[in-house]
Structure 1
Amino acid sequence: MSRSASAGRRADVPGATTGAIPAYQRTLAHLTVRARLLTAVVVLSALTVMIAGGTAFALQAAETDERMDNSLSRAVAALRNIEAKGDEATKQPFSSVSDVLKQGVRGRIPGKNEGVFALLEGEAEWLPALETRSIRLEEDLELVAVLAQMDADTPAVPQTVSTSATQYRLIAVPVLIAGDPGLGLFVVAFDRSAEMSGLRSTFLTYSAVGLGALAVIAVVAWFVVGRLLRPIRLLRDTTRRITESDLSERITVTGKDDLSNLARTVNAMLDRLQRAFGSQRELLDDVGHELRTPLTIVRGHLELVDADDPDDVRATQALALDELDRMQRLVDDLMTLATADRPDFVRLAPTDVGRLTDDVHDKARGLGDRRWVVASRADVNVLLDAQRITQAWLQLLANAHRYSAPGSTVRLGSEVAGDRLLLWVRDEGPGVPADEADRIFERFHRGQADRISHGAGLGLPIVAAIAHAHHGRVFVEHPPANVGSGVVFVLDLPAVDLVDGEPQPVTEMVEYL
């Protein structure tokens, strides 16, 4: 099979190419939202008018047919009553079919659009008086021919017969008399077209009024839809004016509908973008500054090193390695913060908090000359990432070591308060100034001591990121004056999958937590 033939067959498959998209869908795709909504409103309104009108017409037509059928049924009942009573003149049963037909026709006074006559052996035999005739059935030869074909077995039920002249709703009653071989047919008929003409006229008027109403709906909907879509146009115009250097544009919001909520959501998104871009620029500036300083130091010392002086070479080597280590720590910290928003940043698992407390205490003793004390231990199992929590907890302990005097006491502990797990560190250092308490968890924010120790200001932000990844938080507070000096950092985490247990004191409890 050739490739061209195969391709030709694939092209014949419906939906195999974009050309198979229905024309109306392609047309709608090029319309504006306003035009689409207007089209939908007009189409739905037109369908409503058509369905309502069609249903009402059908119900009225059925009611009209039922009214005619009831009248025809009464005519049959009247004829049967005449047959039962017999001849009025002789007071004897009828002896001929013609007499029955004569009495039946004379006893029926036709109403509007109604006619009555009798046929005997297929020929018109009896007619009502001329002045009582509403319609002349005997003059419609097509109708007479249809009726002449009926026999004695024809059921006497209402039926519809159409001729070139009009449409009839009629009933034909066969009449037979013992001893008379003739077959009579008593016929009562309504001109159904004439009966329906008034109804059709009414619904033609309804159709004209419906078309006018659709035109009014289209005009009103055009303005209403335009007003409803105004927030969308404002959104479009605002987004066009937004640039990388200017994210200050906002949408003016009025009302409390869905589109107003959309505008508020977009404004909130722009706020987040503006903060994100600002943080990004600030991050790039700070990273550039932090990396530029060690690079400048290393470059300066390498340029001035005396290659013939072994001591100078060793000193420059040590300094360069120290600065490179500092840059490596900075890069590692930035990588940690960069991955903090990823779903796999933390991997939760059941963790023995009491054992974790002891492990962190053992690791903290290697930080330096301090009196490391476990003040409380929560002997519970909680769902958390033990490695990340250890990283955050040790960062707080390293922070306490940095700001406290040699030989001072640094306390750590774990406690359960309701459905929260509290992991805390308390030192006896100078504390955190009130104006910096809310900023110390921001990236690259450095207090005075940080500047002295050349810190990059990323330790506490990493702690905050780990707490946030656990759906918790980290905060700082100062103990009451009667408890002592220093500062307390608290990791406040949800106690997920908490196993029954109570925090057990080891050496001392910190009552104010």
Structure 2
Amino acid sequence: MSRSASAGRRAELTSATTGVIPAYQRTLAHLTVRARLMTAVVVLSAVTMMVAGGTAFALQAAQTDERIDNSLSRTVAALRVVEAGENPETGQPFTSVADVLIEGIRSRVPTKNEGVVTLLDGKLHRQPAVQTRSVRLAEDPELVTVLAALPPDAPALPHTVTTSVTQYRLIAVPVLMNGDPSAGLFVGAFDRSAEMSGLRSTFLTYTAVGLGALAAISVVAWFVVGRLLRPIRLLRDTTRRITESDLSERITVTGKDDLSNLARTVNAMLDRLERAFGSQRELLDDVGHELRTPLTIVRGHLELVDADDPDDVRATQALALDELDRMQRLVDDLMTLATADRPDFVRLDRTDVGRLTDDVHDKARGLGDRRWVVASRADVDVLLDAQRITQAWLQLLANAHRYSAPGSTVRLGSEVAGDRLLLWVRDEGPGVPPEETDRIFERFHRGQADRISHGAGLGLPIVAAIAHAHHGRVFVEHPPANVGSGVVFVLDLPAVDLVDGRPQPVTELVEYL
């Protein structure tokens, strides 16, 4: 074959292979997961049965051939005994090849599926008398032709010969005598096909049982796989029923396997999505309301302004600018909250908490007429974002100023309690109603008390977002009745410092109340 023809043949084979593989992949792609698993189980079971059956059949066949070869070896040994013995008719050693062959036939009684025949000078010589269980080798002309063609010095080894009649396992032993020019051949053979018939029958039965077992495996696997995939079907049906306006559907979970855990995870995801969509709708409603109010005010005053009255124009201008400033603050607060979940929302750095406390105190004095007192000061260095913490702390101080009387005392402090850094603000205002304590950190929440009636309701949520970004929290506590009125807002943050490049807890304790 030329090189170009060989290359063309390889190209054809490659093209055929690349065409079969995508077709197989497309077929699998159209099968359901249940069908794929069923196919995998049945194919794996069938391959296992085939390998086990084929291996067992091969071992049994090898054992059968070994048994036949042992019997043939005994035939050779018996013939050698005859050659070395005496002729029973003369009482003298054998001198004729024909006599050895005859005595060999007489001394060998064939077993079931075994036959013996002798050849003298390439022609049939003798075979045993008719035996009901023996094989008549002389009646197979193809075998006789093969035996006649064997050379006189051929080695006496067992081998297999197949004819149109059957398959034989035989051994041909040359017989030569000094002084006799004749060449004899003593042949012992087994009908190997007959010997294997029982084994084949057994494995045909095995095949039938295996097919029945595959059918049973298929039925059982169909129901088992269906039960295992039930959470996925429920997941599919549930997700089909979920719409943008209805996220209340959940998957019924009863098991404890991996698929059941997947269903639980999806249910938890749906809970988060429902909360997120609810918060989004509430946010859009609140933002729309907050922006609509200043726009309505500005529009109304602009429509009623008297362009010829300078005082009216200046008053309307001041009002419009004030409302636009409020809208700007609202947008800035929303942008802060929108970026609170980003990794770069806070930039941790080693910060001197004592100096930070003094800086926040200095800035708080510009908020208004209050007695601003530093009640405690933690002289430690911790990891935090000084700008964000200042923003949150000043928001708490601004709230304290807004909801306390002029001339009252507002205390602030910093301390370390165990492995926590506490930054707190305490005022002498009316406090927070107990029913609103858990809701004041929600976006746009306004309580019934005047304490949280001003602004857009985003200040405390921003404080909570900054605390959360530091892996901390913000909470409210009321002082004991014998200490006084007011409320305490506490930023609870991890007290972590860097020592030799590794985070280490800071320990110090001060009672902030």
- Percent of aligned positions that are identical: 80
Find the aligned partners of 2:357 and 2:94 in 1 and give their Cα distance. Answer: 120
2:174/2:183 contact within 8 Å kept: yes
Report the alpha carbon displacement of residue 358 of structure 1 after superposing the two structures with TM.
4.4
Asked if 1 retains the 8 angstrom alpha-carbon contact of 2:497 and 2:505, the reply is no
SS of 1:425 mapped into structure 2? strand
Give the aligned partner of residue 392 of structure 1. 392
Change (3 A) 1:407 1:482: closer
Distance 1:294 1:132, change over 3 A: closer
Q: Deviations over 1:392-429 (max 9, x none)?
A: 233233333333443413222042523x4444333343
Determine helix, strand or coil for the equivalent of 1:199: helix
The answer to whether the Cα contact below 8 Å between 1:443 and 1:458 also exists between their aligned partners in 2 is yes
- Where do residues 309-328 of structure 1 align in structure 2 (5 Å cutoff)? 309-328=309-328
The answer to whether the 8 A contact 1:426-1:488 is kept is: yes
1:430-471 CA-to-partner distances (Å, cap 9, x unmatched) read: 332221111111111123456775211111111222222333
Q: CA deviation at 1:65?
A: 1.6
Matched, 1:128 2:116: no
Query: What code does the residue aligned with 1:401 have?
Result: H
Instruction: Report the CA distance shift for 1:169/1:320 in structure 2 as closer, same or farther (over 3 A).
Output: same
Residue 350 (structure 1) shift: 4.6
Q: Which moved more, 1:279-288 or 1:448-457?
A: 448-457
What is the aligned partner in structure 2 of residue 5 from structure 1?
none
Structure 1 residues 241-260: aligned runs within 5 Å: 241-260=241-260
- Structure 1 counterpart of 2:58: 58
Query: 1-side partners of 2:36 and 2:505: how far apart?
Result: 63
Asked if 2 retains the 8 angstrom alpha-carbon contact of 1:378 and 1:501, the reply is no
Q: Match of 2:256, SS?
A: coil
Is 1:465 aligned to 2:453, yes or no?
no
CA contact (8 A) 2:350 2:381 kept: no
Deviation at 1:159, TM superposition (A): 1.3
Match of 1:175, SS? Answer: strand
* Matched residue type, 2:339: T
- The residue type paired with residue 426 of structure 1 is R
Task: Give the corresponding residue for 2:7.
Answer: none
Corresponding residue for 2:285?
285
Is residue 414–residue 421 contact of structure 2 (8 Å, CA) maintained in 1? no
Change (3 A) 1:133 1:43: closer
- Given residue 222 of structure 1, which amino acid in structure 2 is its aligned partner? W
Aligned match of 1:175: 175
CA contact (8 A) 2:417 2:508 kept: no
CA distance in 2, matches of 1:210, 1:243: 49
1:276 aligned residue? 276
Distance 1:408 1:451, change over 3 A: closer
* Compared CA separation, residues 158 and 305, structure 1 to 2 (3 A): same
Deviations 1:277-301 (A, max 9, x none): 2111111111111112222222233
Q: CA shift at 1:77, angstroms?
A: 3.0
Provide Cα deviations, 1:54-97, integer angstroms capped at 9, x if missing partner.
22222222222222122222323333344445555666654343
1:19 Cα deviation (Å)? 7.4
Corresponding position of 1:411: 412
CA distance in 1, matches of 2:53, 2:159: 26
Which deviates the most, 430-439 or 464-473?
A: 464-473
Give the drift of 1:329.
Answer: 0.8
Report the residue type matching 1:138 in the other structure: A
Inter-partner Cα distance in structure 1 for 2:422 and 2:100:
110
Mapped to 1, the partners of 2:217 and 2:350 lie a distance apart of 64
In the TM superposition, residue 166 of structure 1 has moved relative to its aligned partner by 0.8
Q: Can you list the C-alpha shifts for 1:121-143, whole angstroms capped at 9, x where unaligned?
A: 22233322323761011222221
Q: Map 1:299-318 to 2 at 5 A.
A: 299-318=299-318
Of 422-431 and 104-113, more deviation after overlay is shown by: 422-431
Scaled by the length of structure 2, the TM-score of the pair is 0.85
Query: Any idea what SS the aligned residue of 1:48 has?
Result: helix
Q: Structure 1 stretch 198-207 or stretch 91-100: which is displaced more?
A: 91-100
Counterpart amino acid of 1:412?
A: G
Aligned residue number for residue 71 of structure 1: 71
Instruction: Return the alpha-carbon distance in structure 2 between the equivalents of residues 359 and 13 of structure 1.
Output: 80
**Using the alignment, how far apart are the partners of 1:400 and 1:85 within structure 2?**
129
CA contact (8 A) 1:364 1:372 kept: no
Distance in 1 between residues matched to 2:158 and 2:417, nearest whole Å: 89
C-alpha distance in structure 2 between counterparts of 1:255 and 1:501, whole Å: 43
Indicate the larger mover: 358-367 or 50-59.
358-367
| 1:145 is aligned to 2:108 | no
Aligned to 1:373: 374
Q: Per-residue displacement from partner, 1:453-492 (whole Å, max 9, x unpaired)? A: 5211111111222222333322222344565543333333
Query: Which is worse superposed, 494-503 or 63-72?
Result: 494-503
Mapping of 1:20-99 within 5 angstroms?
22-85=22-85, 87=87, 93-99=93-99
- Decide whether aligned partners of structure 1 residues 295 and 14 sit closer, same or farther in structure 2, where only a CA change above 3 A counts: farther
Q: Give the whole-Å Cα distance in 2 for the aligned partners of 1:88 and 1:408.
A: 141
Deviations 1:206-236 (Å, cap 9, x if unpaired)? 2223323333333343344334433333333
What secondary structure does 1:170 align onto? strand
- 2:109 paired residue number: 109
Q: Do the aligned partners of residues 23 and 325 (structure 1) sit closer, same or farther apart at CA in structure 2, a change above 3 Å counting? A: same
Contact residue 479 and residue 488 of structure 1 kept, 8 A: yes
Distance 1:278 1:103, change over 3 A: same
Match of 2:235 in 1: 235
Distance 1:163 1:355, change over 3 A: farther
1:191 equivalenced with 2:191 (yes/no): yes
- Using the TM superposition, give the Cα deviation of residue 498 of structure 1 relative to its aligned residue in structure 2, in angstroms: 4.3
Between 1:48-57 and 1:94-103, the stretch displaced more is: 94-103
Gap change, CA 1:477 and 1:193, over 3 Å in 2:
same
Question: After alignment, is 43-52 or 268-277 more displaced?
Answer: 43-52
After alignment, is 325-334 or 306-315 more displaced?
Answer: 306-315
CA contact (8 A) 2:42 2:217 kept: yes
- Aligned counterparts of 1:452 and 1:466: Cα–Cα separation in 2: 20
Contact preservation (8 Å) 1:168, 1:191: yes
User: Partner of 1:201 in structure 2?
Assistant: 201
Distance 1:338 1:398 in 2: 22
Residue number in structure 1 paired with 2:8? none
SS of the residue 1:37 aligns to: helix
Cα separation, 1, equivalents of 2:485 and 2:28: 72
CA 1:207 to 1:20, structure 2 compared with 1: closer, same or farther past 3 Å? closer
